[in-house]
Each structure stands twice: as C-alpha cells, then as structure tokens.
Amino acid sequence: MIRIEEARTRQELKAFVKFPFRLYKDSPYWVPPIISEELESLSSDHNPVFQQAEARFFLAYRENKIVGRVAAIVNRIEIEQQGLSKIRFGWLDFEDDPEISRALMEAVRSYGEARGLSYMEGPMGFSNLDKVGVVTEGFEHMGSMITWYNYPYYATHLKNLGFAKEKEYIESRFPASNADPANFVRIQEIIRKRYGLRPLNFTNTAEIMPLADQMFDLFNSSYSSLASFVPISPAQREYFKKKYLSFINPEYIKFIVDKNDKIIAFAIVMPSYSTALRKAWGKLFPFGFIHLLRAKRYNRDAVFYLIGILPEYQNKGVTAIIFNEYYKIFQRKNVEMCYRTPELADNLAIQKIWKNFQPEVYRRRATFRKEIAS
C-alpha cells in the first residue's frame, strides 16, 4: 500500500531532493543537482518565485521507504493574468509501479481541485526558466544541468493514467565545425551597417551586471508570445543573477546594442556541466566545486541556453552577428559540440535560425495534461 505525505520540514525536503539519487544510482545518463542549491530553490525563504506561486511537495512511501515524489505548483500570475485554470506538477520521480504514480498524481489532482482549478499539466517548474518535460525519446543520452532526465516508463504511466501529450519539446545538437563562417560573416557585416548595431563582449561578470536588467526586460518581451509564458519578476531577476551567472563564462554572454546603446538582442551559452555534476554527486565540498570549476574553464561542449531578440528586430538577420561572435570564441576555446536546450517543437521561428548548422534532434520531451474532473 502506498502512503502519500507532504514534505514540510527541512529534513523531509532533503529526503525529497535526495530520492532520485537512489532511483538513478545505476543510470549513466542522469545528472544530479547540487543538493544545497536544489533545497534553496524549493524554499520560500530563498526563492522569490514564491511571491507569485505556492507549492506542496509530496513523498510516496511504501511502508517506511520513499518510492516516489512530486511537486504540485500553483502559479498565481498564470491563473489570474492569463486565465489558465491550471495546476502544474514537477519534480516527478517514481519507481516503476502504477500504484505509486497513481497515488502521486492523485495528490496533485486533489490539491488542484481544492483550489478550484480545472486541469493538471507537467512536468514543469515554477517559471519558464525552470526545467520542463518528461523525456519521450533519446534516453541513451546524458541529461544536463538544466533539464530533467527520466526512465522510459514515465510517459507510459502518465498515458495509462489518462494524461495526454500537451506540448512537445525538442533538443538538438551540432558539431561546432558545422558553423561555416560563410553563412554569417558577410551577412552580419551588412546587418550591423544597416541597423547601426554592434556586439558587446565581456571578460568578467562585473561588466555584465549593470546590463542584466535590460536583458531580462528583453527576455520578457521576446518570449511573451510563447505558450504559458510567465514574466520574470524583479525579485526573480536578482535570484537568477545569483544562481546562474557564476556558472557562465563571461565570454559566453553576448549582447547586441543599437546606436543608442540599447540592448536589442542577447544570447547566453553555458559550458556543459553534466560530467562534472556526476562527479560531484550532489555536493560542492570537499571536491565538487573543483570539478565544476574545471568544467567552466576547460570544456569542449557548449550549451545554448537562451537567445532573445526584440520583436521589431526578429527576422532581420541579427542572429548572424551573434553567431559570428560565438564562432570566434568557440575557435579560441576549442569547442567541439554545441547543444540546444529544450525548444517547443512548434516554434518554427527559432528552428529556422539554426538551419544552416544542420542540427540533429537527439532527444524529445513533452508535458502531459489531464482534466481534474475526468
């Protein structure tokens, strides 16, 4: 018999965070989070997303053993401003037993029903900068710092529980050698002259911080048309600056500005931390931080995390300037493979940007939806 209990204390939340370490201990593809950072992200005392959201964290027990977990999330901005009567669920992990997944999803359903919501969708995090989706194809590839990984049976369990695929995401990759300068060097020169644009490059994080708020403004405006977009609040901006900027080489952040020094486009690339995080196995100390520092400085893999372009500059060739700047830094850093984070499969505009790089889709993931009353 499965028993569901809410994780409330720090000790219980730590058990919530550490459950996947046991579930995936024999998987060569799962990438563990840093335990202390994961706990902080789930804490209303540290994560400002709780100013606009609430969450409950449920653990599934068989006798005294944890066999599953899930978070039920209510994003008030999404509900009140977008009219989406939705309860999100995320941090979904469970042993391969239908009784466990049924009990976990019933906990989410009950929580949503008590708040008068109409449907469930997930897995997804608190906001659009969090992890998203159940892997449906590409299980033989290692996960990443900014995605969830799961066993193949997850999607089957959700479908058997009456969930239907809601949004599909693709992840792709291409060798850095596919970045043929002939496709963007001449074009970027034309675009720069035509619109009075120039790139900003950085050598240290301190140079970036004064421009970070402009970048988040641009992020909100350039991504607002995507499904279920929730704007990043001022408090969340400060949180993400602290959480992510230290993981990014300053050379891997690119801004494009107009003649008035207004940012009209940005791109953020991260080194791949997958192997380093597996070596750290959830702990920064005593040696985990060393693995992360090495991955930051010496890495043959680059992950394109975000690209944002003001709507009025989209489809005008601005990406040629961005790619030209990254080509130079990748040549200098000996980057061999480029990865793209999950993108909506129906976002044809973003896919068109990458066509000259001949990307290979190597993983697919999806969110699943079910009506609460069904």
pLDDT by residue, tens only, the chain of 374 residues? 999 999 999 999 999 999 999 999 999 999 999 999 999 999 999 999 999 999 999 999 999 999 999 999 999 988 988 889 999 999 999 999 999 999 999 999 999 999 999 999 999 999 877 899 999 999 999 999 999 999 999 999 999 999 999 999 999 999 999 988 888 999 999 999 999 999 999 999 889 988 888 988 888 888 766 655 677 788 888 888 777 777 788 999 999 999 999 999 999 999 999 999 999 999 999 999 999 999 998 999 999 998 999 989 988 999 999 999 999 999 999 999 999 999 999 988 888 889 889 999 999 999 999 999 86
Judge whether 2-172+367-371 and 174-361 match in fold: yes
Q: Quick one: which of 82, 154, 77, 70 has its CA closest to 110? A: 70
CATH of domain 2-172+367-371: 3.40.630.30
Give residue 350's pLDDT.
83
Cis ω before 181 (30° cut-off from 0): no
Q: Is 176 helix (H, G, I), strand (E, B) or coil?
A: helix
Q: Quick one: which of 368, 367, 357, 372 has its CA closest to 180? A: 357
Architecture of domain 174-361: 3-Layer(aba) Sandwich (3.40)
To the nearest 10 degrees (0 to 180), the angle between helices 234-244 and 212-223 is 110
Q: How far apart, in whole angstroms, are the C-alpha atoms of residue 240 and residue 48?
A: 10
Give residue 227's pLDDT.
57
- The CB density around residue 335, as the number of other CB atoms within 10 Å, is 23
Give residue 195's pLDDT.
97
Locate the domains of the chain by residue range: 2-172+367-371, 174-361
Taking the whole predicted model, whether its pTM rises above 0.85 is answered as yes
Contact predicate 228/119, CB 8 Å: no
Give residue 332's pLDDT.
93
Residues 180, 185, 190: CA angle, nearest 5 degrees: 145
Distances (CA, A) of 50 to 6, 58, 81, 326, 346: 17, 17, 16, 36, 30
- The CB density around residue 308, as the number of other CB atoms within 10 Å, is 20
Give residue 247's pLDDT.
78
Cis ω before 271 (30° cut-off from 0): no
